[in-house]
């Protein structure tokens, strides 16, 4: 069996898809996630080992990273939960990441660490000229972004081979309730990314040549460059409701359009246009209505 790729947070939506993609490529996989997670469909499979535990537990982390080929560190406390308790968010997102880094430095310093960060780390860029590049200053406007900036420092200053991915808001082809307040203004630039393209980027980063030490923006590409109003009106059209119900932020949030030329060149992940996503959403709603 090949040395496994460890996926922290591997029982989540993105993690599960990444597991399948790695297995299909002939890789073995180790999953570290909280005991409360649903591991159905992951356990008792060839080339999959499940570790139930917390990334802030040094012993669990040490066990999990032992003899790995690489680590994709998806585990994190995400919004809106991240905004409710700063200390808890920093414990999970920063202390947990530091535990991964330390364990890898001591046990598997040649393994690659893929760290999914966030474009929210750029803060409010609405008054600037797009697209936002990876050399843009980092300036958090919420707790989650603040924690990701701190975790990035630990990753980038480590002695490991690392790939940092600042990922845009992920669009999931599923029927979801609209938020009470959309996280952008009507005229704000918005570029999301299809969930499956994120999985492709993560998968490619494990073995892509010459990516160690790189920081990438991961976003959908030109077809995904909309305004907040465009996105919201499409969303309500997909679900057959009136966009007049939408409530927007009064001031710009952290979304924008992003420079993804280098990440696309290195990882080749922008495989699903916005038009394809729109078609998936319409087909999903039509199928639900026909039931």
220: its two tokens: 């959908």
Residue-level pLDDT at 17: 96
* Residues 131-159 as b or e (16 or more Cβ within 10 Å = b): bbebebebebbbbbbbbbbbbbebbeebe
> Considering the domain boundaries, does residue 209 fall inside one?
yes
Instruction: State the DSSP H helix or E strand holding residue 232, giving kind and residue range, or none if neither.
Output: helix 228-239
Residue 25 confidence class, pLDDT cut points 50, 70, 90: very high
The pTM for the full model equals 0.96
**What pLDDT score was predicted for residue 282?**
93
Tell me the C-alpha to C-alpha distance, in Å, between residue 261 and each of 103, 226, 251: 33, 18, 29
State the pLDDT at residue 285: 85
Q: What is the CATH number of the domain that holds 145?
A: 3.40.50.720
Q: Where are the beta strands (DSSP E) in the chain?
A: 5-8, 29-33, 48-52, 70-73, 112-118, 161-167, 170-171, 189-191, 193-194, 214-218, 225-227
Which residues are bridge partners to 70 per DSSP? 5, 112
Q: What is the pLDDT of residue 2?
A: 81
Active-site residue, selected from the candidate residues 122, 144, 258, 277: 144
**pLDDT tens string 203-251:** 999 998 899 999 999 999 999 999 999 999 999 999 888 888 899 999 9
Residue 108: predicted pLDDT = 82
Query: Is residue 126 included in any domain, yes or no?
Result: yes
Quote the CA–CA distance of 170 and 114 in Å, as a whole number: 18
pLDDT band at 286 (very low <50, low <70, confident <90, very high): confident
* pLDDT for position 281: 94
CB 95 within 8 A of CB 56: yes
Can you tell me the distance from the alpha carbon of 79 to that of 254, in angstroms, rounded to the nearest whole number? 13
Please report which helix (H) or strand (E) contains residue 225, including its range.
Answer: strand 225-227
Q: What is the pLDDT of residue 147?
A: 98
In a domain, 233, yes or no: no
- The stretch 56-85 carries a mean pLDDT of 96
pLDDT over 60 at 1, yes or no: no
Region 29-54 average pLDDT: 95
- Mean pLDDT, rounded, for 129-148: 98
| Residue-level pLDDT at 102 | 96
Whether 124 maps to a domain, the answer reads yes
pLDDT band at 288 (very low <50, low <70, confident <90, very high): confident
User: What is the CA angle 197-161-58, rounded to 5?
Assistant: 95
In a domain, 284, yes or no: no
> Cα separation of 231 and 246, whole Å?
11
How does residue 159 score in pLDDT terms, banded at 50, 70 and 90?
A: very high
Please tell me the total count of domains within the chain: 1
State residue 88's pLDDT score: 97
269 is catalytic: no
CA distance 263 to 149: 20
C-alpha R_g of the chain: 19
- Predicted confidence band at 185 (pLDDT cuts at 50, 70, 90)? very high
| Whole-number pLDDT of residue 124 | 97
Burial-class residue 2 by CB neighbours within 10 Å (0-12, 13-18, 19+).
exposed
CA distance 146 to 165: 16
pLDDT of residue 63: 94
Question: What is the chain's mean pLDDT, rounded?
Answer: 95
Can you count the helices (H) and strands (E) in the chain? 9, 11
The answer to whether residue 232 sits within a structural domain is no
Six-digit token pair at 207? 């073995």
Pair of tokens at residue 172:
């999931």
Query: Between β-strands 70-73 and 112-118, what pairing exists: parallel, antiparallel or unpaired?
Result: parallel
pLDDT score of 289 more than 80: no
In a domain, 53, yes or no: yes
Q: What is the DSSP letter of 250?
A: S
Task: State what percent of residues in the chain have pLDDT above 70.
Answer: 99
Three-class secondary structure of residue 157 per DSSP: coil
CA 288 to chain CA centroid, nearest Å: 28
Determine, yes or no, domain membership for 261: yes
What is the DSSP pairing of strand 193-194 with strand 5-8? unpaired
pLDDT in tens, 91-137: 999 999 999 999 999 988 889 999 999 999 999 999 999 999 999 99
Residues of the domain holding 52? 5-170+193-220+257-271
């Amino acid at each position: 069996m090949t040395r496994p790729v460890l996926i922290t947070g591997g029982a989540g939506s993105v993690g599960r898809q990444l597991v399948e993609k790695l297995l299909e490529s002939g890789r073995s996989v180790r999953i570290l996630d909280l005991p409360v997670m649903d591991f159905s469909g992951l356990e008792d499979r060839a080339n999959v080992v499940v570790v139930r535990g917390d990334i802030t537990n040094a012993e669990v982390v040490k066990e999990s990273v032992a003899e790995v080929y690489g680590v994709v560190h998806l585990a994190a406390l995400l919004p809106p939960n991240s905004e409710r308790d700063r200390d808890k968010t920093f414990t999970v997102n920063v202390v947990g990441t530091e535990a991964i880094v330390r364990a890898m430095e001591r046990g598997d310093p040649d393994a690659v660490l893929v760290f999914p960060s966030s474009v929210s780390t750029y803060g409010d860029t609405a008054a600037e000229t797009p697209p936002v590049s990876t050399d843009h200053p980092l300036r958090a406007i919420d707790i989650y972004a603040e924690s990701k900036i701190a975790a990035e420092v630990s990753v980038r200053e480590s002695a490991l081979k690392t790939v940092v991915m600042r990922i845009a808001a992920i669009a999931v082809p599923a029927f979801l309730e609209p938020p009470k307040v959309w996280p952008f203004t009507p005229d704000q630039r918005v570029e999301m990314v299809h969930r499956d393209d994120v999985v492709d980027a993560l998968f490619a980063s494990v073995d892509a040549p010459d990516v160690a030490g790189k920081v990438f923006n991961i976003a959908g590409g030109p077809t995904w460059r909309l305004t907040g109003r465009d996105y919201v009106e499409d969303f309500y059209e997909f679900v057959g409701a009136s966009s007049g119900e939408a409530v927007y932020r009064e001031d710009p949030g952290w979304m924008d359009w992003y420079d993804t030329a280098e990440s696309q060149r290195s990882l080749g992940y922008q495989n699903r246009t916005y038009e394809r996503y729109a078609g998936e959403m319409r087909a999903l709603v039509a199928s639900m209505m026909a039931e």
